[in-house]
Chain A
Amino acid sequence: MSFLAITRATLAKDIRLEWRSKDAINAMLFFSLLVVVIFSFAFDPTAEESRRIAGGLVWVAFLFAAIVALNQTWARELRNQVLDAYRVSPAPATPLFIAKAFGNFIFVAVLEALMTPLFVAFYKLRPLGPSWQLIPIAVLGTWALVVNGTFFAAMSLRTRAREIMLPLLLFPLSIPALLGMVNSTAAVLTGETSPTFWIALLVAYDVVFTTACLLMFEAVLEAE
């Protein structure tokens, strides 16, 4: 039994299910769109103000929108108790977690790719720092959101109020990552400071939490 084959099959299955239902991506898009439009009308910032606040605005919007995808990814495993079919099989737990985390990464990345031009247009954003640095920031920041989110969504799976439980568990732990995302993005947009420290923080955060999630996921999956 191949670890990679199970990961690939589970990821392909999740993408297929999302492609057919579009449950997560539609909800995330509408939510992010609302944030962009409402905040642009509420604040009407100058270009300079936009550069300072956009990092926070963008990442908070993506964080809240990602909750939808994170809840959805496990909700479809609860319907018809399909997760039990995985648990009763000889497949190890880790490929399931990795596939779910990668699936969520793809969904949130698609959202970011669709919403970023809108953020740029509505907030008249033009980075004054090296804009290519936004790519590693986006990758590391998105992974930070989804790796913990996937884990805690699995943990809150069997709780009664799981849609409330996920943000309660996830948001406090995401604060260091959120600081890294917001400050590094603001550093690139304003060009005033170097984002290196914040990017390094994101790398460390991703390594630590990915390792911890991988080590603990089997216990979460086997919990009754």
Chain B
Amino acid sequence: MSETQSTPVVVADGLIKQFGRFAALRGVTGEFAAGKLYVILGDNGAGKTTLLRTIAGLAHATRGVISVLGFAHINEARSQIGYMAHPSLLYDEMSGMENLRYFSELYGISAADVDKKCRDAINAVKLDPDLDRPVGQYSQGMRQRMSLARALLNDPKLLLLDEPFSNVDARSAAEMAILVAQARDRGKTVFVVTHQPAQLEAYADEFIWMELGRIVDRTATLGGRQ
């Protein structure tokens, strides 16, 4: 294992996240090394999405400490994070290229590079950059891929994917899984929240099992949990 891979990308210590009286995270602790593909598993309400949103800086821990990419303050890490949520995070009325051009401005991608970066991101997810159709008219599988393209746009070191296989057919899900594995192979650290872990069984480095807001196990294989 290289030095880069042994450096923790995410370090969580006693993370607690409460929504009113409901505790979505109840003391999440763990270190997650760079360049690995982590699959987060658990029942509905286990805290998977909240953990992912906390890493992304979209949810703020009520108690506990989290460091992302070596930064204690998430704002400093934002330019190196790619986030894909269950909804597409895209404007339905705009085409894929128009969406990506807008988001590239938010990441400060220089005007000279915008078109190339957008095309590369769209090509990477096997879509056509010249497709003029609004995203709202895409199939669910295409929308998921375009959403992944948006997450990859800034060439992030840390990729956070929430339910990337939901509502897509088996073939699209398998293709998405390959794209996710390729991202890891390019050196990115990837966290995937999913209810379909079998899609990533062949590629994942570690499975993180959550129950009632806690990490209860970490295994190298999907069937490795006692």
Chain A residues at the B interface, C-beta cutoff of 8 Å:
1-2, 5-6, 9-10, 13, 16-17, 20-21, 76, 79-82, 84-91, 222, 224
Q: Which of A17, A20, A80, A90 is within 8 Å of B106, CB to CB?
A: A90
What is the interface of chain A mostly: helix, strand, loop, or mixed? helix
What is the interface of chain B mostly: helix, strand, loop, or mixed? loop
Q: Smallest CB-CB separation from A85: which chain B residue?
A: B89
B56, A88: Cβ atoms under 8 Å?
Answer: yes
- Residues in A with CB closer than 8 Å to B58 are 84, 87-88, 224
- Residues in B with CB closer than 8 Å to A87 are 57-58
Task: Scan B204-226; emit 1 where CB is below 8 A from any A CB, else 0.
Answer: 00000000000000000000000
B55 to chain A, nearest CB (A): 10
A-B contacts counted at CB < 8 A amount to 78
Q: Which of A5, A21, A89 is within 8 Å of B103, CB to CB?
A: A89
> In residues 98-152 of chain B, which contact A (Cβ within 8 Å)?
98, 102-103, 105-108, 150
Some 21 contacts from A to B, beta carbons below 8 A apart, are A2-B108, A5-B105, A9-B102, A13-B91, A16-B93, A16-B98, A17-B94, A21-B93, A80-B88, A80-B90, A82-B89, A84-B89, A87-B58, A88-B57, A88-B78, A89-B107, A90-B75, A90-B79, A90-B106, A91-B106, A222-B60
A1, B93: Cβ atoms under 8 Å?
Answer: no
Q: How many residues of B contact A (CB 8 A)?
A: 29
Given A80-B92, A87-B58, 12 more contacts at CB 8 Å? A5-B105, A9-B102, A10-B102, A16-B93, A20-B93, A82-B90, A84-B58, A85-B89, A86-B106, A89-B103, A224-B59, A224-B60
Task: Scan B24-59; emit 1 where CB is below 8 A from any A CB, else 0.
Answer: 000000000000000000000000000000001111
Complex CA gap A180/B79 in Å reads 44
Chain B residues at the A interface, C-beta cutoff of 8 Å:
19, 56-60, 75, 78-79, 81, 83, 85, 87-94, 98, 102-103, 105-108, 150, 154
- Residues in A with CB closer than 8 Å to B83 are 84-85, 88
B87, A89: Cβ atoms under 8 Å?
Answer: no
- Residues in B with CB closer than 8 Å to A79 are 91-92
B174 to chain A, nearest CB (A): 24
Which of B58, B85, B91, B92 has its CB near the most chain A CB atoms (within 10 A)? B91
Complex CA gap A76/B103 in Å reads 16
B105, A81: Cβ atoms under 8 Å?
Answer: no
Q: Smallest CB-CB separation from B143: which chain A residue?
A: A80
Q: Which of B57, B75, B89 is within 8 Å of A80, CB to CB?
A: B89
Q: Which of B57, B78, B88, B93 is within 8 Å of A17, CB to CB?
A: B93
A1, B108: Cβ atoms under 8 Å?
Answer: yes
Q: Smallest CB-CB separation from A91: which chain B residue?
A: B106
Complex CA gap A89/B89 in Å reads 12
- Residues in B with CB closer than 8 Å to A21 are 93
